[in-house]
């Protein structure tokens, strides 16, 4: 009878089974796909940029030919932002500030303050030195014949560009000679008519 007081055995619980996986929120999945697409596009763009940097040759701004207006208007402007290496002897320049700057080329009968009066190619085998080159460039520029009727006086200043030691090693041998007014403008050429291009 003692067995009657014993608690009843409990039935064994079934083993826990993994439940169905929780459903992922649809908006979260869309957001993940969006981020993945953005990352792929950004990576592709960066890769294309790097490849183009290696494959595209660097364009020298001086290599682009600035066109000359063969029929300038009343303002006389033939070309603007002309690189110095594209100037032609006789070009009259408006707003000239220095020989290495981009220039505005105008007709010589319109208002201007400078003119390219000559160019020379140096024949030295090796770089002659900065001081010797300075003296030679100045002598070459002062040897250019100026129209006697141009009225050249102390209001005019010689300017010239010449090779430096670094540009010499790259093949630069050009001396370009300019005359510019210290102030004001003129409406005529400094060169004899036969010397102009």
What pLDDT is attached to residue 38?
82
Asked if 104 and 82 count as a contact pair (C-beta separation under 8 A), the reply is yes
- The helix or strand, by DSSP H or E, that contains position 103, with its residue range, turns out to be strand 103-106
Three-class secondary structure of residue 179 per DSSP: strand
**CA–CA separation, 125 and 135 (whole Å):** 17
What length is written for the chain?
A: 197
Q: What is the DSSP letter of 109?
A: T
Q: pLDDT tens digits for 37-86? A: 888 888 888 887 777 776 655 545 445 799 999 999 899 999 999 999 99
Give the contacts of 104 (CB within 8 A, at least 6 positions apart). Answer: 77, 79, 80, 81, 82, 93, 94, 95
**pTM for the whole structure:** 0.66
Inform me whether the pLDDT recorded for 30 exceeds 90: no
């Amino acid at each position: 009878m003692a067995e009657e007081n014993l608690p009843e055995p409990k039935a064994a619980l079934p083993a826990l089974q993994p439940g169905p996986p929780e459903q992922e929120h649809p908006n979260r999945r869309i957001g993940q796909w969006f981020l993945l697409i953005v990352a792929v596009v950004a990576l592709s763009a960066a890769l294309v940029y790097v490849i183009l940097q290696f494959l595209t040759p660097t364009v020298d701004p001086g290599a682009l030919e600035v066109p000359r207006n063969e029929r300038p208007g009343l303002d006389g402007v033939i070309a603007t932002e002309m690189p110095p290496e594209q100037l032609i002897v006789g070009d009259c320049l408006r707003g000239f500030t220095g020989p290495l700057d981009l220039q505005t080329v105008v007709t010589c009968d319109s208002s201007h303050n400078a003119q390219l009066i000559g160019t020379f190619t140096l024949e030295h085998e090796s770089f002659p030195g900065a001081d010797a080159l300075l003296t030679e460039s100045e002598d070459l520029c002062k040897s250019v014949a100026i129209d006697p009727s141009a009225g050249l006086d102390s209001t005019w200043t010689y300017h010239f560009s010449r090779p430096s030691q670094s540009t010499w090693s790259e093949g630069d041998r050009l001396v370009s000679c300019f005359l510019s007014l210290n102030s004001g403008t003129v409406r005529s050429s400094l060169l004899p008519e036969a010397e102009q291009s």
